[in-house]
Structure 1
Amino acid sequence: MTDQKRIGLIGLSAKGSWASRSHLPYLQQTSLYKITALQNSSKASAQAAAKEFFLDDVATYADPSAIASDPNVDIVAVSVNVPEHYALTKPALEAGKDVFVEWPLARNLAEAEELTQLAKDKGVRTMIGLQARQNPSVVKAKEIVESGKLGKILTTTMFGHGMIFGPTIHEGFLYGLPIEAGANLLTIPFGHAVDALCYVLGEIKDISATLANLLPKLDLVGKDGKPAGKVKKTAHDHVSITGQLENGGGVVNVTYAGGLSRSNRDFYWEIIGTEGTLVLEGPTMGGHVQMYQPTIKLARSDPQVALYGATSDAKQELEAVEVEKASEMSFNVGRAWDAWAGVGLDKGHHVTTFENALLRHKMIDAIYRSAEKGTRENYV
């Protein structure tokens, strides 16, 4: 794609939002796209955002059908809270627009299936915000695994803190408390991270899952930062799965906990093969691998030492792997937009579509089934 595409952005707030921190910095400096319309819950809110971010000559709307029918919009980008995704995405698809939607695609599998089928029926292009796949460290990990440097993958372990659902919750995230909203530890931080795992290593079979809501009452923090009582939640704050890689049988363990780490261990991912081991470690809040870049280190096995017969003095040192630095919050999102425009495909970046999102929704549904029934579940 060489011509500039016009974007109708839903969810850009003058008060600050994910869209203003991630999409906007990229979209305002690229020549590949141009924001031509905004839609918020009210026209006044959209106008305020246009003024705040110096978006001159953009159309402003309060109705998703209006922005969807704007002839000066080629792509509708939906960057709002998860419970609103379905209602705001469907009119754009029905109007035949190309559509970007943040991950998760919808509140549940049924809504995701409907939107994916509608996009297919309309023949439009889609992109989903699973931008951990664009993280330079994840791209490098995939490159190393596919190069064969690690040999046959034997096992992988991922552990992360999801930041959300620690002992306190901010007033702005109250919508995530009910499990029905689909905006929780399992769907968001875990969902992004396990999608990166599957992107690097392949899909997982025979999933056995444990879910827990260990903190069903949280301390509410008001907009002023002061305590505002307690609130109940039904969404889970701990998730743990085991399974095997579908393409080779390597054992998979993934655990995510709520809140932040007290031991500076917010993200740790180890991939062990017959010939080497790869370790990705995140900074504070690094459990959100779609936003924060982990370091990456590699240890190669000594070919003269049997893998399981190594003595303590035969251990190999982890060596840092050089990798491109993600310079800002919008980096991974920008690479995703680049890929949609056909840029950077030769560097390991690719377009993640509604079909990819649907597969991940099927995985999450399998995790819910396994945890509820105590069974091994599959989704592919």
Structure 2
Amino acid sequence: MTESQKRIGLIGLSAKGSWASMSHLSYLKSSPLYKITALQNNSKASADAAAKEYSLNEVATYDNPSAIASDPNVDIVAVSVKVPQHYDLIRPALEAGKDVFCEWPLARNLAEAEELVQLAKEKGVRTLVGLQARQSPAIIKAKEIVASGTLGRILGTTMYGHGIIFGPKVTEGFLYGLPIEAGANLVTIPFGHAVDALCYVLGEIKDISATLANLRPELELVDKDGNPNGKVKKAAHDHVSMTGLLENGGGIVSVTYAPSQSRTNRNFHWEINGTEGSLVLEGGKMGGHVQMYQPTIKLAAQKDLEEIQVEDGSAFSYNVGKAWDALAGIGLDKGHGVVTFEDALLRHKMIEAVYRSARQGTRENYV
């Protein structure tokens, strides 16, 4: 431990494997900027098991958020668990005056997100949210190309993706995402990450018109081995289509996300068209989650469509690591900015505008 290292209290690291173990762990263990000093899970035994599994020696282990928040050897509380638990885990950390990282979505709904942002302001702490598609080399390159004027004036953009979740089957591990009030669904997660990347590159969207549908209100429940285990009801939407205008110039925006995976391997396709050129970003089998899977990027300007080579950011720890670097002030000059709770709040407002438009049949704004 060095004086410059920030001490991390990590919530949600499982010995059985989790997003935290696939993305945050390898970066935090190898970075000279951070050190994991505490773990918290639903039980102390679970936290102890994770510490043993990942050779995190001498870390404190806890079974509740207030305990890890009050640990004097923790500077930053990192929350990497299911969305419905975010609010209850973040609030004690903010009340204790700790800096906080949380995965996206920040909370189950706009009201919870607003409360957390206000509390963070009152406490004067630093925040970081896991909208890490902004850290993807392909997304950063797209932003640079648009900003350079290579495409000319932006006329419009279309994005289409498959969100993997909400196909005809669901496992017990994702039952929590079926109620719409849980805030963990196709609209908030894959669509939410993707439209955040779109707005990062092109700017915010106005005059939103949206259509939502729950076309599979009943799913087949399967166990971890894929064996059928009855039927379950789903209230969350499995299709979303949104149109609007770019706030900064009037270009038309069209985004559609569908469930499951594409039978034609068209899991992510994003085209940006300007008066002088076009960009195409594409993802393969799992590409609809742009925060996890790096798309290819191709440019058509004065010549044929050509792929642009960027740094390999395909490892799950890449985008997450760049986000942590940015919090420490590294990589800011290369486009790796800090994505704060306030940034997350803006995206929550956008998603609420999508829900409102679909419900009322109106054009909605959120900025």
TM-score bin, normalised by smaller chain = over 0.9
Write the deviation string for residues 207-226 of structure 1: whole angstroms up to 9, x where unpaired: 00000000001111112321
Letter in 2 for 1:109: L
**In 2, Cα distance between equivalents of 1:139 and 1:343:** 15
**In 2, Cα distance between equivalents of 1:225 and 1:24:** 29
Q: How does 1:165-244 map to 2 (within 5 A)?
A: 165-244=166-245
Give the aligned partner of residue 281 of structure 2: 280
Give the aligned partner of residue 260 of structure 2: 259
**In 2, Cα distance between equivalents of 1:175 and 1:13:** 18
The correspondence for 2:327, drawn from 317, 340, 348, is 340
Give the aligned partner of residue 113 of structure 1: 114
**In 2, Cα distance between equivalents of 1:26 and 1:353:** 20
Q: Contact 2:161–2:268 at 8 Å: present in 1 too?
A: yes
Q: TM-score, normalising length from structure 1?
A: 0.95
C-alpha displacement of 1:236 = 0.2
Q: Contact 1:206–1:378 at 8 Å: present in 2 too?
A: yes
Write the deviation string for residues 236-292 of structure 1: whole angstroms up to 9, x where unpaired: 000000000000000000000000000000000000000000000001110000000
Give the aligned partner of residue 32 of structure 1: 33
How many percent of aligned residue pairs carry the same amino acid?
Answer: 77
Task: Please state if 1:153 is matched with 2:154.
Answer: yes
**In 1, Cα distance between equivalents of 2:69 and 2:210:** 40
**In 1, Cα distance between equivalents of 2:253 and 2:311:** 27
Q: TM-score, normalising length from structure 2?
A: 0.99
Q: Secondary structure at the match of 1:281?
A: strand
**In 1, Cα distance between equivalents of 2:290 and 2:280:** 14
Letter in 1 for 2:197: A
Q: How does 1:13-24 map to 2 (within 5 A)?
A: 13-24=14-25
**In 1, Cα distance between equivalents of 2:28 and 2:285:** 27
Give the aligned partner of residue 377 of structure 1: 364
Letter in 1 for 2:305: L
**In 1, Cα distance between equivalents of 2:314 and 2:161:** 22
Give the aligned partner of residue 308 of structure 1: none
**In 2, Cα distance between equivalents of 1:196 and 1:169:** 27
Q: Secondary structure at the match of 1:159?
A: strand
Q: Secondary structure at the match of 2:354?
A: helix
C-alpha displacement of 1:342 = 0.7
**In 2, Cα distance between equivalents of 1:329 and 1:125:** 24
**In 2, Cα distance between equivalents of 1:370 and 1:106:** 21
**In 1, Cα distance between equivalents of 2:314 and 2:81:** 24
CA RMSD of aligned residues (A): 1.0
Letter in 1 for 2:357: S
Q: Contact 2:165–2:186 at 8 Å: present in 1 too?
A: yes
Q: How does 1:57-136 map to 2 (within 5 A)?
A: 57-136=58-137
Q: Secondary structure at the match of 2:30?
A: coil
Write the deviation string for residues 149-201 of structure 1: whole angstroms up to 9, x where unpaired: 00000000000000000111111100000000000000000000000000000
**In 2, Cα distance between equivalents of 1:19 and 1:333:** 10
**In 2, Cα distance between equivalents of 1:25 and 1:290:** 17
Letter in 2 for 1:366: A
**In 1, Cα distance between equivalents of 2:51 and 2:234:** 35
**In 2, Cα distance between equivalents of 1:131 and 1:320:** 23
Structure 2 unaligned spans of 5+:
none
**In 2, Cα distance between equivalents of 1:3 and 1:350:** 20
**In 1, Cα distance between equivalents of 2:133 and 2:168:** 26
Give the aligned partner of residue 270 of structure 1: 271
Letter in 1 for 2:348: H
Q: Contact 2:292–2:314 at 8 Å: present in 1 too?
A: no
Write the deviation string for residues 299-342 of structure 1: whole angstroms up to 9, x where unpaired: 014xxxxxxxxxxxxxx421111111114111100000011011
How many positions carry a matched residue from both structures? Answer: 366
Letter in 2 for 1:317: D
**In 2, Cα distance between equivalents of 1:169 and 1:269:** 28
Q: Secondary structure at the match of 2:85?
A: helix
The correspondence for 2:350, drawn from 344, 353, 363, is 363
Q: Contact 2:185–2:237 at 8 Å: present in 1 too?
A: yes
Letter in 1 for 2:340: T
**In 1, Cα distance between equivalents of 2:196 and 2:167:** 23
Letter in 2 for 1:156: T
Q: Contact 2:293–2:314 at 8 Å: present in 1 too?
A: no
Letter in 1 for 2:323: A
Write the deviation string for residues 48-96 of structure 1: whole angstroms up to 9, x where unpaired: 0000000000000001000000000000000000000000000000000
**In 2, Cα distance between equivalents of 1:249 and 1:65:** 47
The correspondence for 1:354, drawn from 338, 341, 344, is 341
**In 1, Cα distance between equivalents of 2:168 and 2:147:** 40
